[in-house]
């Protein structure tokens, strides 16, 4: 709210209401007057919010104005989230972080992201499968895949499906394929094998998988 002289009464009123975006949103023009000071604000809210707030032209209490401002902030956060999703998919947490970068609070951003999930614009299960497929094509081990998915902001509930998505993967074979891709064959010297072992561990492979891959390379 604009700063006004606190010694003067503050009068708030709705000057006009206008539907936009084919009726999905309402633009509410609010006038705030305090002595000789006058401020006009155009706040955009969802039509469903407009119906809940039961707005009409005329006087508005400070409590009603606060509720209107909060609704406008949520509407703006939703717009920001929809814009972010137009550039690519995101988890609820990742989208929340993106919305916050546009000046919204954590609570506002999280509420907007959750609404977009309920609207079907965020499908974390499908996104998880897609990310796992990408990681497997890169020949990553399970630990690196899990770390990558955590960094993407997938929830614990969504990540609970990860073991089932990986259960049919032969990671020792993938590890051997990674060796063939980058080294063609096992290094003959101990120092070279030690360096390769460390590299494969960074790719997320366990000691057992790496040893099994070494055995496969020898056959």
**Mean pLDDT lowest for which of 4-8, 63-67, 107-111?**
4-8
> Do 194 and 154 share a structural domain?
no
Residue 1 domain-assigned (yes or no): no
Which residue's entry shows tokens 């546009």? 102
pLDDT at 184: 84
* Residue 186 maps to a domain: yes
Residues 99, 29, single domain; the answer is yes
pLDDT single digits (tens) 160-181: 999 999 999 999 999 999 999 9
Q: What is the mean pLDDT of residues 139-144?
A: 97
Residue 1: the pLDDT is: 47
Residue 174 located in a structural domain: yes
Compute the mean pLDDT over every residue in the chain, rounded to the nearest whole number: 93
| pLDDT of res. 9 | 84
195, pLDDT greater than 80: yes
Query: Could you tell me if 182 and 161 lie in one domain?
Result: no
User: How many separate domains does the chain show?
Assistant: 3
Is there a single domain that holds both residue 184 and residue 163? no
Are 112 and 19 part of one and the same domain? yes
Residue 190 has pLDDT above 80, yes or no: yes
Using a cut of 0.85, tell me whether the model's pTM lies above it: no
What is the per-residue pLDDT across 23-38, written as a single tens digit (0 to 9) for each?
999 999 999 998 778 9
Q: CA geometry: angle at 208 spanning 203 and 211, to 5°?
A: 85
Same domain, 162 and 174: no
Q: How far is the C-alpha of 89 from the C-alpha of 79, rounded, in Å?
A: 15
pLDDT of residue 6: 66
Range of the domain at 143: 123-168
186 plus 219 within the same structural domain: yes
Average pLDDT, integer, range 116-138: 93
56 located within any domain: yes
Spatial contact of 131 and 149, defined as CB atoms under 8 Å apart: yes
């Amino acid at each position: 709210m604009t700063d006004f002289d606190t010694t003067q009464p503050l009068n708030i009123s709705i000057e006009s209401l206008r539907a936009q975006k084919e009726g999905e949103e309402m633009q509410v023009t609010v006038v705030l007057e305090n002595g000789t000071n006058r401020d006009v604000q155009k706040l955009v809210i969802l039509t469903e919010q407009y119906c809940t707030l039961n707005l009409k032209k005329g006087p508005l209490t400070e409590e009603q104005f606060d509720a209107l401002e909060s609704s406008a902030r949520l509407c703006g956060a939703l717009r920001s989230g929809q814009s972010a999703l137009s550039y690519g998919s995101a988890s609820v947490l990742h989208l929340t972080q993106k919305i916050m970068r546009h000046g919204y609070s954590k609570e506002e951003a999280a509420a907007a992201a959750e609404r977009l999930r309920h609207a079907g614009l965020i499908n974390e299960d499908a996104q998880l499968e897609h990310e796992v497929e990408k990681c497997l094509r890169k020949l990553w081990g399970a630990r690196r895949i899990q770390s990558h998915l955590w960094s993407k902001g997938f929830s614990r509930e969504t990540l609970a499906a990860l073991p089932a998505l990986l259960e049919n993967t032969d990671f020792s074979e993938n590890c051997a394929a990674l060796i063939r891709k980058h080294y063609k064959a096992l290094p003959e010297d101990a120092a070279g094998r030690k360096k390769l072992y460390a590299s494969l561990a960074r790719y997320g492979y366990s000691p057992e998988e790496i040893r099994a891959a070494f055995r496969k390379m020898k056959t």
